[in-house]
Structures are given as C-alpha cells and as structure tokens.
C-alpha cells in the first residue's frame, strides 16, 4: 500500500509540475490542497489519513497538540532550513522525522524592491487610473537617489537589499541589536547606533529581521511615531515584528507616506480584514518566496527528502 503525502497550501496548484515526483511515484500518493485550513481542528481532520506532509515556510503551525492528533504522520518536509512553527521536540517524541529544503534569498529581495518602487512612484494608482480612463498623472513620485534607506536587519536578505539601494544612489544605513560597525561596513551600509535614530532619519525603512522574542513587536506605536510624515515602511519579513494596529493607525492618519506589506497577522487575510482596505498601503499576499526558482528548489528537494526517508537515509534533517 502506498504512503499518502499531503502538500499544503498549494494555492496555484503547481506543486505537481514544479518538480519531478517520479522518484517516489511507486511508493507515495501525492495529494495537493489549494486551500488553507484556518484552524487546528480543520487541519487535524485533513491530515488524519496522511503519512507525509509537505508544508511551505512557517505558514502552518505544527504544535504538539496537532502532532498528537496525527498518529499516522511519519515525515514533515518544510521548505527552507529553519522552521520555528514546528514543535521539533514533539515531533521527535512521536517518531516523526522533520526535513528541510534549499531556498534562495533572491525572491524576497526582488519583492522588497517591487514594493518600495511601487510605493515611491504610485504605480498601482497610476496604472489603475490609466486603465480606467482616469486623470493623466495624478501623483508626484518620491525620488530614491540621495534619499536614506534604513535597513532593520543586515543578514543575507538585508545585505542584498542594501546593495540595490547603493545602486540607486541611496544613502544606505542599517541597525539590528547585534550589528556592529564593522559588519555594516562590510555590507556597504552605514552603522546606526539605535533603531530610534534609524526611524527618525530614514526616508525608506525596510524590515529584514528574523522573528524572535526580541523582535516581536519591535516596531510599535512609539517607534512608528518616530518616522517622518513623508517616509515609507516596507515589511517582507514577518508581520509580528510590526504592531499591526499601530501600523493601521499611522496609515489612516497619514503619519507616514505609505507602507508596502507582504506579511500579515492572519494568512490568508479574511475578506473583512482592515489591511484589505487601509489607505496608503501597497499589499501583496505573502509573495516574498513565491517564484519559479524557489518552488523548483522547494518541491525538488521535497521529493529528494521523501525518497531518502523511504530509503532509510533521511537528509536535511531539522530540529
């Protein structure tokens, strides 16, 4: 009898074609789900008859309470090589192997700049106006050259965002709790001693921090109030780093010029979520990692992980 593999949140129904699944076809029945389970009860019911689960990023939590409800589950494959939404200790207690996949930082870097440029030049409003017969030119774009780009988090993604900022002729500066002046200089960014100074002096602020107890709620009402009225905020990292209610407040009041957001406190966003109608907001449905190359890496490695597990030699183990 074949093992059953669930591929979660395959919204575009492309998991089956993004990689060659033939290496496991004789042993595994693969079932893709194009919708999202909003509750643990729904997910528990869906996965009750599956032995393997492939999950994207940290979108679906696997706490101990869920793992205990899935006695058939033997293997979880999570895209990327870090996943804080899986209770790895609980998985180990229940004999579940957890594996990761390769991923690339390029797609979120590119989306960061798509959002930043879209905000700066009013692209959505102007494009919609042109299509709908509206006014010919209704906005005046914000320049990038000579403006300050403040980066929160100068790791792999933040460092690449900094390189693009320099190419635009921007004054690039960075801050994070552990960032040193030497590391900032190596990445081609100026070192800012505090997040408060970065927020006060930057025209564009881009968030590239890992979500942790230290960064959760890092930008709240007090911090956002430091930003200039003409400044922009971009977050393609994790929603919980920026207080969502505080962000909605500054957008509604026009306290900042705009925000580009790809991550949200609830995903997918409910139809009546205030982020869907907030002013001065350019929002995308968590597209940071969604690219052809990344999907090929995710699902290609998922097939390898499953084959290796079936052969008794698991690879890319997490936990």
C-alpha R_g of the chain:
21
For the question of residue 58 being annotated catalytic, the response is no
**Secondary structure of residue 191 in the 3-state scheme:** strand
* Choice among 267, 273, 280, 317 that is catalytic: 267
* Choice among 147, 148, 208, 286 that is catalytic: 286
Global confidence as pTM: 0.94
For the question of residue 166 being annotated catalytic, the response is no
Judge contact between 47 and 73, C-beta under 8 A: yes
* Segments in the chain below pLDDT 50: none
The torsion region of residue 147 among left (phi > 0), alpha (psi -120 to 50) and beta comes to: beta
**Cβ neighbours of 166 (radius 10 Å):** 14
pLDDT on residue 90: 98
pLDDT on residue 263: 97
For the question of residue 267 being annotated catalytic, the response is yes
Summarised one tens digit per residue, pLDDT across range 174-221 is 999 999 999 999 999 999 999 999 999 999 999 999 999 999 999 999
Q: Which two tokens stand for residue 3?
A: 């093992």
pLDDT on residue 187: 95
Taking CA atoms, 285 is separated from 89, 267, 289, in Å, by 31, 8, 11
* Choice among 57, 148, 238, 304 that is catalytic: 238
Summarised one tens digit per residue, pLDDT across range 63-95 is 999 999 999 999 999 999 999 899 999 999 999
CA dist., res. 92 & res. 300, Å (int): 25
pLDDT on residue 59: 85
CA dist., res. 181 & res. 173, Å (int): 10
Distance of CA 243 to the CA centre of its chain: 16
* Residue 292 φ then ψ, to 5°: -60, -45
pLDDT on residue 57: 85
pLDDT on residue 155: 96
């Amino acid at each position: 009898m074949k093992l059953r593999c669930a591929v979660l949140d395959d919204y575009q129904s492309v998991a089956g074609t993004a990689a060659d699944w033939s290496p496991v076809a004789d042993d595994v029945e693969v079932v893709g789900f194009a919708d999202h389970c909003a509750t643990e009860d729904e997910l528990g019911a869906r996965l009750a008859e599956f032995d393997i689960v492939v999950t994207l990023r940290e979108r679906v939590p696997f706490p101990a309470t869920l793992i205990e409800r899935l006695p058939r589950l033997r293997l979880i494959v999570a895209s990327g090589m870090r996943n804080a939404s899986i209770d790895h200790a609980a998985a180990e207690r229940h004999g579940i192997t957890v594996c990761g996949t390769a991923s690339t930082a390029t797609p979120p870097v590119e989306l960061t700049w798509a959002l930043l440029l879209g905000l700066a030049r009013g692209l959505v409003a102007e494009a919609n106006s042109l299509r709908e017969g509206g006014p010919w030119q209704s906005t005046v774009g914000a320049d990038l050259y000579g403006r300050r780009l403040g980066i929160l988090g100068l790791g792999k993604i933040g460092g690449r965002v900094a390189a693009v900022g320099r190419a635009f002729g921007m004054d690039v500066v960075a801050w994070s709790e552990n960032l040193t002046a030497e590391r900032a200089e190596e990445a081609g960014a100026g070192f800012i001693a505090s997040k408060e100074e970065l927020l006060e002096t930057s025209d564009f602020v881009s968030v590239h921090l890992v979500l942790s107890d230290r960064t959760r709620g890092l930008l709240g009402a007090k911090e956002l109030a430091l930003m200039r009225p003409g400044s922009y905020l971009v977050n393609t990292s994790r929603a919980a780093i920026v207080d969502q209610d505080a962000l909605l407040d500054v957008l509604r009041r026009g306290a900042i010029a705009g925000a580009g957001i790809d991550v949200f406190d609830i995903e997918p966003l409910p139809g009546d979520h205030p982020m869907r109608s907030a002013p001065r907001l350019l929002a995308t449905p968590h597209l940071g990692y969604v690219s052809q190359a990344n999907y090929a890496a995710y699902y290609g490695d998922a097939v390898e992980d499953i084959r290796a597990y079936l052969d008794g030699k698991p690879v890319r183990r997490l936990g």
